């Protein structure tokens, strides 16, 4: 069976689900599963349906009918497909390595098109998996020029998402603006706690009993983008900040992988700097 995903978000108004399901029925299709949410504070409607069918759907005809019926909505519709991603990294192995293994085993529902890093350390690991690796050094070069080179390399690829798998550089607003809602970062703290540099040292100093990690979309404000998922682990007084960092790496890799799963499965809407996730 073929699987199609329909995502609709719109100003809320009466009868939206009725109209959407009317079109689905008129195309003789059956909803396999669906979710709906209305943000009543902002008057915003979100809907996602999985449609399974033995026949091909004429996507543009379907989309045309639907758009005519709910003219103010953002509508995404198409056959479920494996997404293409690019990974940006620096030196750390744990998140990148985890994605490479998941990619290799088919657990990650995406093609890793390339890895770009500002150090060469990760080349050996990446090339084991026959994924193109590009070292674009950030030494002896302005931030602007470095970003230009990275963007140039990225522009050689078609991709759905760029994943910052411990890319330890802050992206400029100009860079971010090129890929709105397409850049996903793993932040090594339970945001908004410990924004900024070395959250594990901050956590150690503060004496917290739980640390965490956050997967989020990147926007102009560092560490302020829409949060996709978060998780935590307990820590205790015996742990140095290095122990916390080690423990935190497990959370980081898990949170990045599960956040990516949600995004790659077309389950995430971004709105009002937050996410709606079905």
Q: What residue ranges bind its own copies (CB under 8 A)?
A: 14-15, 17-18, 21-22, 24-25, 30-41, 93-94, 97-98, 100-102, 104-105, 107, 125, 128-129, 190-194, 206-210, 212, 226-232, 234, 236-238, 240, 246, 249-250, 254, 257-258, 272-277
Residue closest to 77 by CA, chosen among 65, 63, 66: 63
Question: Catalytic one among 9, 98, 223, 266?
Answer: 223
CB atoms within 10 A of CB 178: 14
**Based on CB atoms, which residue is closest to its own copies, 34 or 67?**
34
Our separate counts of H helices and E strands in the chain read 8, 13
Least distance in Å: CB of 200 to its own copies? 14
Least distance in Å: CB of 189 to its own copies? 9
Paired with 75 in beta bridges are 8
Residue 145 appears among annotated catalytic residues = no
The half-sphere exposure of 225 on its side-chain side, counting CA atoms within 13 A, is 25
Least distance in Å: CB of 2 to its own copies? 15
Least distance in Å: CB of 32 to its own copies? 6
**Based on CB atoms, which residue is closest to its own copies, 22 or 141?**
22
Residue closest to 162 by CA, chosen among 113, 232, 105, 107: 113
**Based on CB atoms, which residue is closest to its own copies, 154 or 165?**
165
CB 124 within 8 A of CB 93: no
Maximum Cα–Cα distance for the chain, whole Å?
64
Give me the long-range contacts of 29-38 (CB less than 8 A, separation at least 24).
29/53, 29/57, 32/3, 35/278, 37/276, 37/278, 38/12
Catalytic residue numbers, as ranges: 223
């Amino acid at each position: 069976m073929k699987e199609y995903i329909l995502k609709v978000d719109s100003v809320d108004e009466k009868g939206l689900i009725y109209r959407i399901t009317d079109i689905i029925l008129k195309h003789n299709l059956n909803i396999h599963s669906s979710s709906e949410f209305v943000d009543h504070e902002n008057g915003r409607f979100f809907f996602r349906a999985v449609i399974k069918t033995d026949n091909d759907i004429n996507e543009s005809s379907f989309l045309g009918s639907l758009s005519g019926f709910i003219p103010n909505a953002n509508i995404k519709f198409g056959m479920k497909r494996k997404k293409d991603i690019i990974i940006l990294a620096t030196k750390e192995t744990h998140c990148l390595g985890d994605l490479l293994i998941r990619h290799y085993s088919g657990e990650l529902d995406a093609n890793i098109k390339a890895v770009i890093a500002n150090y060469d350390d990760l080349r050996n690991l990446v090339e084991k998996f026959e994924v193109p690796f590009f070292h674009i050094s950030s030494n002896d070069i302005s931030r602007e020029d470095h970003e230009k080179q990275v963007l140039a390399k990225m522009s050689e690829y078609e991709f759905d998402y760029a994943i910052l798998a411990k890319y330890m550089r802050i992206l400029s607003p100009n860079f971010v603006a090129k890929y709105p809602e397409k850049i996903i970062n793993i932040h090594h703290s339970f945001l908004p706690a410990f924004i900024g540099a070395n959250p594990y040292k901050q956590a150690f100093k503060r004496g917290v009993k739980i640390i965490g990690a956050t997967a989020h979309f990147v926007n102009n404000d560092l560490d302020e983008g829409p949060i996709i998922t978060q998780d935590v682990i307990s820590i205790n007084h015996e742990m140095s900040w290095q122990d916390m960092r080690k423990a935190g790496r497990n959370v980081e890799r898990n949170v990045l992988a599960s956040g990516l799963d949600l995004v790659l499965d077309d389950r995430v809407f971004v709105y009002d700097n937050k996410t709606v996730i079905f």
